[in-house]
Amino acid sequence: MILVLFHNRAIEEHLPSAARPNVLLHPIAQADSLGELQRRRIGVVLCEWGDATPPAAVLSRRFPGTFVATLAPVFSHSIAAASRAKGYAEHFFFPLPDNFFQELDQDPPPPPPGDPLAQGARLLRLLANSRDYADVCRYAAELMQDRLAGVGWSLHLLDKDQRWSTRFISSPSWQVDANRLRFCLKQVELGNPSSSGLPGALPEEDLKCIPLVRGGLLAGALCCRQQDGASGTLEDLAAFLEPAFHHIDVLLEKERLSFTDTLTSLYNAQYLRQFLINEIRRCARYHKQVSILFIDIDWFKQVNDNHGHVAGSDTLVEISRRFSSMVRDSDVVVRYGGDEFVIVVTETAPAGAEAIAERVRSSIEAHVFGRPEGRNICLTVSIGVAGYPDHGSSVEELIRKADSAMYQAKSLQKNNVNVANQAN
């Protein structure tokens, strides 16, 4: 059911052990498995991402009619964009869903001939690793292009603030009065998807909007003219998109949990590493600077000893919120572990980061923690500062130098800010 094509076998260790027997591994030069793919109802080629990854057209020619995608050990927006730029349909990353290979190996009943929606439905539901709902909608519309040929229709999504996005997907023949469309979408919000548009509209101007639901809530709508007779096809598309949306929600939630500290809801060390990799690459390309503040709470053990571990946890949450309130939206606050935190200040040289660190230090010193509970805890922090490119060109080097600078600050007198030097 699935052919996985890698440049090398290094990534195989990331696969679930139960899936390995079902996976064929071939170098590109030896990947002559077209006959095998032709015996399958759905062929899938997953190509490991790297500098030598060929354009998707190369694999499409080798495996005609096959879904081609790229695969990487970790998720990266830049890699995903580069994959799409090379023409790949999707970009996957580990960890893959637990039942990824098992469900692909199921033998579904043959789809109706000439029905691209039925042929691709399982693929989209299982392989919709895109984090962009609009991308999934475009792909689904492409699967139905034969059935939608010559039909005027549009697909609209609600944004995170429950407002209709000004960007929507539509067919080339879709031309409709904006006021009638807004009226029809409003009717969808009110639970009346069969609205015929503005009162007094001519029969040929009647519109029908079909709601798209995600997690029991309205997520969007598909609109068409009543006279075009496309509502049945669009209802099929809506029924197809809803499980795909749910799949995206599950992936986003898994990603959020994997990158989030459960106590403080800040990002964790895993996210820090990935963010810094991308940020350093961006700075190198555009000749920018980025700095990090490595923060340790002084004498934090005394909080646990004197007030208990619940009070200690509450204090970590409170100090996390205070850190977050003192940075810009473009900066990132991370709980590195225990009572250690990292703040990434983007497009900022070490000198500027030192000034920010001093503001953070003085703010923590002036604040009384646990006041509503009557604990009245006073804290100080020691902060080490390092920046790219002054103190290093890799994530490991920056963290090591900022960490070393922080320990120097603690050894001096605590409640102090120290900038790394080249010798750290």
Looking at per-residue pLDDT, the higher value among 72 and 347 belongs to 347
At residue 40, the 3 state secondary structure works out as coil
Stretch 210-218: mean pLDDT, rounded?
84
Whether residues 328 and 364 share a domain: the answer is yes
* Per-residue model confidence (pLDDT) at position 309: 95
* Per-residue model confidence (pLDDT) at position 151: 75
pLDDT category, 312, cuts 50, 70, 90? very high
Looking at per-residue pLDDT, the higher value among 303 and 32 belongs to 303
CATH classification at residue 91 = 3.40.50.2300
Q: Range with the lowest mean pLDDT among 146-160, 253-267, 320-334, 368-382?
A: 146-160
Kindly report the backbone phi and psi dihedral angles of residue 326, in degrees, each rounded to the nearest multiple of 5, phi listed first: -105, 5
CA pair distance 197, 202, nearest whole angstrom: 9
* Per-residue model confidence (pLDDT) at position 148: 73
Confirm whether 189 is domain-assigned. yes
* Per-residue model confidence (pLDDT) at position 264: 96
Q: Is the model's pLDDT at 37 over the cut of 70?
A: no
Confirm whether 48 is domain-assigned. yes
Whether residues 292 and 408 share a domain: the answer is yes
Collect all residues with Cβ–Cβ distance below 8 Å to 126 and sequence separation of at least 6.
97, 100, 103, 104, 247
Q: Range with the lowest mean pLDDT among 55-59, 295-299, 339-343?
A: 55-59
Whether residues 76 and 162 share a domain: the answer is no
Q: Which among 107, 136, 165 is the end of a domain?
A: 107
* Per-residue model confidence (pLDDT) at position 119: 44
CATH classification at residue 197 = 3.30.450.40
**Above pLDDT 70, what percent of the chain?**
66
Collect all residues with Cβ–Cβ distance below 8 Å to 295 and sequence separation of at least 6.
323, 340, 341, 342, 343, 360, 381, 382, 383, 406
Selection from 215, 219, 211 nearest residue 158 by Cα: 219
* Per-residue model confidence (pLDDT) at position 229: 65
pTM of the model: 0.56
Contact 380, 413 (CB under 8 A): no
Q: Which of 71-80, 191-200, 243-252, 315-324 has the highest mean pLDDT?
A: 315-324
Whether residues 232 and 296 share a domain: the answer is no
Whether residues 87 and 180 share a domain: the answer is no
Whether residues 249 and 372 share a domain: the answer is no
pLDDT category, 296, cuts 50, 70, 90? very high
Confirm whether 161 is domain-assigned. yes
Stretch 351-356: mean pLDDT, rounded?
97
Whether residues 4 and 102 share a domain: the answer is yes
Whether residues 73 and 24 share a domain: the answer is yes
pLDDT category, 409, cuts 50, 70, 90? very high
Whether residues 163 and 91 share a domain: the answer is no
Q: Which among 77, 107, 137 is the end of a domain?
A: 107
Stretch 393-415: mean pLDDT, rounded?
94
Q: In what order do the strands lie in the sheet with 290-297?
A: 332-337, 340-346, 290-297, 381-388, 417-419
User: Structural domain tally of the chain?
Assistant: 3
Confirm whether 264 is domain-assigned. no
Q: Which among 208, 236, 258 is the end of a domain?
A: 258
Confirm whether 263 is domain-assigned. no
* Per-residue model confidence (pLDDT) at position 66: 59
Confirm whether 406 is domain-assigned. yes
Stretch 337-362: mean pLDDT, rounded?
96
* Per-residue model confidence (pLDDT) at position 212: 87
Confirm whether 360 is domain-assigned. yes
Whether residues 396 and 299 share a domain: the answer is yes
Whether residues 273 and 412 share a domain: the answer is yes
Whether residues 125 and 205 share a domain: the answer is yes
The mean pLDDT of the chain is 76
Q: Is the model's pLDDT at 125 over the cut of 60?
A: no
3 state SS for 151-173: CCEEEEEECCCCCECCCCEECCC
Confirm whether 195 is domain-assigned. yes
CATH classification at residue 287 = 3.30.70.270
> How many other CB atoms are found less than 10 A from the CB of residue 21?
7
Instruction: Give residue 378's domain range.
Output: 269-419
Query: What Rg do the C-alpha atoms of the chain give, in angstroms?
Result: 27
CA pair distance 4, 20, nearest whole angstrom: 10
* Per-residue model confidence (pLDDT) at position 262: 92
